[in-house]
Structure 1
Amino acid sequence: MDQLLKKVTVLEPENPNKSTALFGGKASGILNWNDLAYPHFYDFREQIRSLFWRASEVDMTHDIKQFPELSPAERNAFLKIIGLLATLDGPQTDIALRIAHYSTDPSVKAIMATIADQESEHNHSYAYVLSSVATYDQQIETFEYGRKDPVLLKRNERIKQVYNEFASRPTLLNVLKAMVYSALLEGLFFYSGFAFFYHLARHQKMVGTSTMISYINRDELQHGRFIGELFRATLAEHPEHNTEEFAGWVYDQFRHAVEQETTWSRYILQDIEGIDLGEMEGYIQYRANKMLRLLGLSDLYENRTENPMKWIRAYADNFDGTKTDFFEQKSRQYVKVGDLNGFDEL
């Protein structure tokens, strides 16, 4: 039976400083970055910390002038996509902290705290953008989309279920499932929205907003990379969950997520001139394959190894490292992301 995890106490000096396990282990609570169970986690810490930025640093002067000049379809998509992003990044702050509460590795706690802080700034950035270009009533309405828009509600149903199940019943399996959805959120759910803002910037529209989005995108890439690392390391410590059944569950969630993201992109971008919805569907499938490899699984979508929307790479940073066959390999030995290559495109 998958036993409930206990919320970790703050300080237990009788335990060793180096944690004995990522979840369900023992550690004193004293964090020495030079004495970690997973020393390369320090590199993740440094990479994520180096991304510090604030929404108020982005100049929105030109966006304020351009927003009224967008087409009605562009303004509608702009506001609804901001609403989607806010709907997801708010809970992501919470879920990062909840994962930290149950990890017995103090380095994981510290990294997840930084991720939570950055997700909070992402959420703030959407309010900052709206306060720059929209009326107060439009701002309020935009943040209501996640509660009322039927397409958004259906799209977010499973992530709500998985996150709330982890919150109410924090077992190791539910932690792993929450990590899967965190990876989906960081690496797939945002991307048709990101593409819309980059499309505008391509045509010299709302460049301030697209700059903000590129900062968020860069953060999410690093967050997804660490979550993938934590997921595989946790499975390596708990091979009883490294099963074909669980792998099948992960694949099913990715299929469903791609279907929902594709439906959302068609709903929100159908009237946007210059965006090819078929190309967008291919891009979503391409992103799904990338995130599956980051979690140690194989591609779901054949012939989606190349990014069909290469122009997007001009607007956001890239990063390296993935693993392709964690579940399938005969040897269950854990290998860190930094030892492997291949995650070098958006």
Structure 2
Amino acid sequence: MIRLNKRQHDPTTSYKSINWNEVEDMVDKLTWEKLTSQFWLDTRMVPSNDLSDWSKLSEAEKTLFNKVFGGLTMLDTLQGEDGNAQILKDAKTQHEIAVLTNIQFMEQVHAKSYSTIFSTLCSPAEINEIFRWTEENKYLQYKANVIRDIYLNGTPLQKKATSVLLESFLFYSGFYAPLWYMGNGKMVNVAEIIRLILRDESVHGTYIGYKFRLGMDELADEERQEMTDWVYDLLLDLYQNESRYTEELYDEVGWSENVKVFLKYNANKALMNLGLNPFFSETVEDVDPIVMNGISTTTSNMDFFSSVGNGYLLSDVETMKDSDYDF
């Protein structure tokens, strides 16, 4: 069975304080600094500025928004409650634990952010309907159950790979709609929250993918191939389910095929985070340029002046590379 060594407790030794002046893996320190430098909270966002745009959307568009955010809430809840909690159990150093607890907290911030959007745009009855829908949607429940089972019963490497696929791939069916509207200059305050979440997820996926690659390097060739095959099998299973989920969400507005292209592009990025070869042929050139414009547009809708204003000094939301850590 493929396993990484866990940190063992020895009651005969002294408990050690974390020492950030002696770091075993500099990626831990640099990731901590990046995550803390881009810290944000939903309470400082102003989705109410989008009420005028919201009133002009069709009922089909409003329903789409509500459902994609409902689905994203479920996935962030899964990451905050199960995903990072399970990955933490296999951390090797105190510094890795610190980074993972930061990531776990921010997943809860992400989940809460959607409630901030809901409370601004929707009535209490509509909010209750959104959450009822997430609990009954078979595609959402399928991927949540598959992922949670791996978190609870999988090997350390399987947990890390699943986390990367969730954060760098599955989230993007939900991200597509707000990014498309932002690219068209609409619902920009709501999309600003999504871009902040996207920026966080880019770091999360890169960091956990890096830890996955370290684990893969410790395996024998046969075990490494076994793990690689397992990842591709999981990816295909999740994509087939996500494709049907996408059709249910986007068919009415006619975007399903474009969203699937976006999904495949981000699936390849998730695989790259894991150090694996792309599975799909789609590249950034195949993605709707309006959506990519929604990602890259400079933010300017913050209504306060601080060191985290003007888009919180947004970094490139493309997948980080090892060279980005500058070590």
Asked if TM exceeds 0.5, the reply is yes
Any unmatched runs of 5+ in structure 1? 16-27, 167-173, 323-336, 342-346
- State the Cα distance separating 1:128 from its structure 2 match: 0.7
Amino acid at match of 1:249: W
Amino acid at match of 2:182: A
> Aligned residue for 2:305?
none
> Aligned residue for 1:338?
323
- State the Cα distance separating 1:227 from its structure 2 match: 0.7
Between the aligned partners of 1:193 and 1:3, the Cα distance in structure 2 is 33
> Aligned residue for 1:193?
174
- State the Cα distance separating 1:108 from its structure 2 match: 0.8
Amino acid at match of 2:276: L
Q: Is the 8 A contact 2:183 2:294 kept in 1?
A: no
Pick from 278, 286, 293: which aligns with 2:257?
Answer: 278
Amino acid at match of 2:267: A
Amino acid at match of 1:133: L
Q: Does 1:289 align with 2:289?
A: no
> Aligned residue for 1:124?
112
Pick from 289, 296, 300: which aligns with 2:279?
Answer: 300
Q: Does 1:14 align with 2:23?
A: no
> Aligned residue for 2:58?
71
Between the aligned partners of 2:277 and 2:3, the Cα distance in structure 1 is 29
Q: Call closer, same or farther: CA 1:37–1:139 in 2, change over 3 Å.
A: same
- State the Cα distance separating 1:306 from its structure 2 match: 4.0
Query: 1:41-120 maps to which residues of 2 (within 5 A)?
Result: 41-94=28-81, 95-120=83-108
Amino acid at match of 1:58: M
Q: Is the 8 A contact 1:12 1:29 kept in 2?
A: no
What secondary structure sits across from 1:66 in the alignment?
helix
Query: 1:145-164 maps to which residues of 2 (within 5 A)?
Result: 145-164=133-152
Between the aligned partners of 1:202 and 1:131, the Cα distance in structure 2 is 24
**Cα deviations across residues 294-339 of structure 1 (Å, max 9, x unaligned)?**
10111112354645233333333334545xxxxxxxxxxxxxx338
- State the Cα distance separating 1:148 from its structure 2 match: 0.9
Q: Does 1:226 align with 2:207?
A: yes
Amino acid at match of 1:98: Q
Q: Call closer, same or farther: CA 1:67–1:339 in 2, change over 3 Å.
A: closer
- State the Cα distance separating 1:291 from its structure 2 match: 1.1
Amino acid at match of 1:188: F
Q: Is the 8 A contact 1:66 1:206 kept in 2?
A: yes
Q: Is the 8 A contact 2:70 2:130 kept in 1?
A: yes
Higher helix fraction (1 or 2): 2
Between the aligned partners of 1:285 and 1:31, the Cα distance in structure 2 is 40
**Cα deviations across residues 208-253 of structure 1 (Å, max 9, x unaligned)?**
1111111111111110010101111122234478421221110111
Q: Call closer, same or farther: CA 1:96–1:340 in 2, change over 3 Å.
A: closer
Aligned residue pairs, count: 305
Q: Call closer, same or farther: CA 1:13–1:75 in 2, change over 3 Å.
A: farther
Q: Call closer, same or farther: CA 1:281–1:3 in 2, change over 3 Å.
A: closer
Between the aligned partners of 2:189 and 2:286, the Cα distance in structure 1 is 25
**Cα deviations across residues 103-122 of structure 1 (Å, max 9, x unaligned)?**
23111100001101111100
- TM-score, L = length of structure 2: 0.84
Between the aligned partners of 2:11 and 2:74, the Cα distance in structure 1 is 37
What's the Cα RMSD here?
Answer: 2.7
Q: Is the 8 A contact 1:235 1:241 kept in 2?
A: no
Amino acid at match of 1:41: D
Amino acid at match of 1:217: L
**Cα deviations across residues 266-305 of structure 1 (Å, max 9, x unaligned)?**
21011225x3x33322221111111111101111123546
> Aligned residue for 1:329?
none
Any unmatched runs of 5+ in structure 2? 296-315
Larger RCO: 1 or 2 (CA < 8 Å, sep 6+): 2
* Segment drifting more, 137-146 vs 46-55: 137-146
Q: Call closer, same or farther: CA 1:243–1:107 in 2, change over 3 Å.
A: same
What secondary structure sits across from 2:287 in the alignment?
coil
Amino acid at match of 1:48: L
Identity, % of aligned pairs?
25
Q: Call closer, same or farther: CA 1:114–1:339 in 2, change over 3 Å.
A: closer
Q: Does 1:314 align with 2:293?
A: yes
Q: Call closer, same or farther: CA 1:211–1:279 in 2, change over 3 Å.
A: same
Q: Call closer, same or farther: CA 1:312–1:34 in 2, change over 3 Å.
A: farther
Query: 1:208-223 maps to which residues of 2 (within 5 A)?
Result: 208-223=189-204
